[in-house]
Each structure stands twice: as C-alpha cells, then as structure tokens.
Structure 1
Amino acid sequence: MRPKQTLLLGLMLLVPVLAFLFLKTFGTNRYALPTYLPDRVDSTQVGGKWQRDTVFHRIQLPPVQSQSGRAISGRDLADGLYVANFFYTTCPGACPQVSSQLQRVQEKFRREPRLRLVSFTLDPAHDTPAELERYAEQYGAIAGKWLFLTGDKSALYRLATDEFRLPPPQGVPPGLEHSQQLLLVDRAGHLRGRYDGTSAKEIERLITEIGVMLYSYDLEQPGR
C-alpha cells in the first residue's frame, strides 16, 4: 500500500475515534444551576482526607391555604419544582405585571405535572381564599397548577424574610413593600434561581432553567 493511501486510511479511522472522544467529553449537558442560600460549611473525612461541603438552606413552608380553601404544606410541593412569588391582590404596580408573566410560564409548562406556580399573599386580611379565587380566575390559573396561598400574616412575613431571605415587608397596603422577584425552588427545597418577574427576558431565562432542571431529573431516572 502506498504511503499516501496508508495515511488517508489512518485519518479515516482516526476521525470517528476523535469524534467519539469529543462527544464523550463535551457532549453532555454541563449547564448547571447554582444553589442559593448557603447555611454552613461542614467538614467530612473521606479516604483519610478532610473535604469541605456547603450545606444549603431548605425552604420550609408554614401552614397555608389555597384559593380553593385546601390546606397546603411543603409535602404537597416536594415532587417537583415550583416558582414562588409574593404579592397582594390590590397591588396596583408590579404585581399585575408579574402575574401576567407567570401566565406565560404556566402556558409553557401546562402539561408538565412536575412544575407548579405558587403565589403567596402578603395581605391575608384582605386576600381570603374567595378573593384569591377571583384573582386566580382573572389570570386564568389552572386549578392545582397555579396556587394562590394565604395564611397567618406573621408566618407569611417570616416565610418571605427568613426562608426566602427577601427584604422585610413594611407596613400594610397601600404602603406594603413587596418583591417582584420570582424564585425557583427544587424538589429538595433548595433555592435554585432568582428572576425579575417584570422582565420578559428574565422570564425566558426562567423558562430555560426550568427546562434544565426537569432534564436533570429525567437523567436521574433508572434506565436513562
């Protein structure tokens, strides 16, 4: 066999090998979402060596009621992801914008049972389940998919400040300060994303990152 033919044959055999190695190294999805709210750093000994491991805060929900009057706990949200926000129904500013953007998220994942939307009122004295039901209908909330939750005022404020670690609300409506952030929580209760709920670009990022999280759950299933 001529040298040129030998070289050409060698290259032909080498190309698929290189392609396989490239795909094996770079072909997997390496885009991972950060985890927020570190609580502490633990040290554990592995193989005679000490390793440092960050322990992240897990969101704990207080007793709350949905717009249908049903009691909701953290166990009801532990089977997938949820997007949380804090609002009140009489809010004239950012709340309607955020709710409109959440409509987009709901529509995108309408048939995805592992994702839910969870809106906590910061004005429970006014926002009874009946009032929340009217608000939910206004924004086309799908029952069981988009939950509007009310409960004890101090417990809801602690949820915002101590669990999600948002700036503390001040006063009562119309002077109530609230957050226009959307917050992505995984099935372990970890905060995985923060987004400006009034920004269409940020909503696109939220939709993308929800897809990333769901894909990572798919890969964890046996047989994948």
Structure 2
Amino acid sequence: MRPQQILVLGLILLVPVLAFLFLKSFGTNRYALPTFLPDRVDSTQVDGKWQRDTVFHRIGEFQFTAQSGRKVTGTELRSKGLYVASFFFATCPGACPRMNSQLVRVQEKFRNDPRVRLASFTVDPAHDSVAVLARYAEEYGAIAGKWFFLTGDKTALDRLATTEFRLPAPTGAGPALVHSQTVFLVDRNGQVRGRYEGTDEKDVNRLITEIGVLLYTYEHP
C-alpha cells in the first residue's frame, strides 16, 4: 500500500474518533432556564473578595379551594416537581378560553407525569364558586389531581397575583380585576423559571419544551 493510501485510510479512521471526542467534550447540553423576579442583591466575601449574588423571589405559601372542594396549598403543587400557574375568570369571553385551550395541550403532553401540575387561579371569586369551577374544569377536561382551578378569598388571590407573581394591579375606579394572559413556570423551590404568553401557541410550545428542560435538570443535576 502506497504512503498516500495509508494517509487517506488513517484520516478516514481518525475522523469518527475526533468527532466522538468533540461531541463528548463540547456536545453536552448546558441549556439552563433563567430565574425570574429578583428580590435583592447580596454581597458575600469569598477568599477575601466580595461577590455580588442576586437573590430571587420565592412564591409565598398559599391555600385555596379547588374545583373538587378540597384545600390545595402551594407546597402541595410543587412537591413533586413543578407547576404551571395562570390567572383567569370564568366569565372572561375571549382571552381566558384561548389560554385554557393552550393549557389543555400542556396537560395532555404531561398527562402521565405526576411531577407536572397546573394551577389556574380565579381573579373573580365572588362569581367563581367551587360549583362554577367544577363545571369550568369539566369543560376543559381537567384531570383530577393534575389541573386545579382554585378559588378563595379575593384579597388573598389579589395578593398572590400582584405581590407574589408581580402582575400589574388594576387601575381606575370600580371592581377591576387583576387579569393577565401570562403563564408562569414554578419550580420545586417555588421560584419562577419561565413566563409565557398563554394565548400564543408558539410560546406555549416553548413552555412545554422548558418544562422538559427543568425535569431533565432534576434528573441530571
């Protein structure tokens, strides 16, 4: 075999090895979700040097009543992994039905994964009683123990929306409702890891992808 042929053969054999080493070294998936809602910046001294570290908000504890009539807490919602939070009201004519139709897709994608739950909080508890929410949940095929439609004290619900999830408070006179089509991804530590436009199919596709990313990080810390 001539030297040129040996060189070509060697290169042919070497390319797959180099490709494997490259993928092993640089092909690791390092995509990480951001954390939202910063609270403050703390300074700590490490090895004589000051380092600044952002401390992110954790959603405070809450307890509301689900469409089944039982009490559900924030700790329960995130206890197995994560939950998807949204705010709605049953008489909302357009945006809420579109958002909940998109959330049906999220439920179906993770139907058999107990780590993923959905929590939809009403902003109109005066109208949205447990009985109303039971009918509403049935309309969207909410799976028991998977997708919770929650009602309770209006002051507590408004506080959850504006203080914890930091949605803008309603302005003007009259019984205005806190209302938004923003959907939140909350991790097992109670921190917001994603925000999405709940009526937008592409953004909900991103939510579905990022739920998968977050679950992957739980499995491969």
TM-score if structure 1 supplies the norm length? 0.89
Pairing 1:53-68 to 2, within 5 Å after superposition: 53-68=53-68
Pairing 1:23-62 to 2, within 5 Å after superposition: 23-62=23-62
Task: Return the offset for 1:156.
Answer: 0.6
Task: Return the offset for 1:200.
Answer: 1.0
| Aligned position for 2:81 | 80
- Pair 1:67–1:21, CA change in 2 (3 A): same
| Aligned position for 1:180 | 181
Task: Return the offset for 1:14.
Answer: 4.2
Paired letter, 1:129? V
SS at match of 1:116: strand
- Pair 1:217–1:111, CA change in 2 (3 A): same
| Aligned position for 1:216 | 217
CA contact (8 A) 2:88 2:121 kept: yes
* More displaced 10-residue stretch of structure 1: 22-31 or 82-91: 22-31
CA contact (8 A) 1:87 1:178 kept: yes
Whole-angstrom distance in 1 between the partners of 2:191 and 2:83 = 11
Task: Return the offset for 1:92.
Answer: 1.1
Unaligned runs of 5+ in 1: none
Deviations 1:138-172 (A, max 9, x none): 11000010001111101110111111001113543
Paired letter, 1:41? V
Paired letter, 1:22? F
SS at match of 1:113: coil
The answer to whether residue 221 in structure 2 is matched with residue 206 in structure 1 is no
Whole-angstrom distance in 1 between the partners of 2:150 and 2:170 = 17
Task: Return the offset for 1:2.
Answer: 6.3
Paired letter, 2:69? G
Task: Return the offset for 1:24.
Answer: 2.4
Unaligned runs of 5+ in 2: none
| Aligned position for 1:93 | 94
Task: Return the offset for 1:81.
Answer: 1.2
Task: Return the offset for 1:31.
Answer: 1.7
Whole-angstrom distance in 2 between the partners of 1:26 and 1:96 = 44
Paired letter, 1:35? T
CA contact (8 A) 1:56 1:190 kept: yes
- Runs (4+) of structure 1 exceeding 6 A deviation are none
Residue-pair matches, total: 218
- Pair 1:10–1:43, CA change in 2 (3 A): farther
Pairing 1:132-147 to 2, within 5 Å after superposition: 132-147=133-148
* More displaced 10-residue stretch of structure 1: 43-52 or 181-190: 43-52
SS at match of 1:68: coil
Deviations 1:82-119 (A, max 9, x none): 11111111111211111111111111110111111100
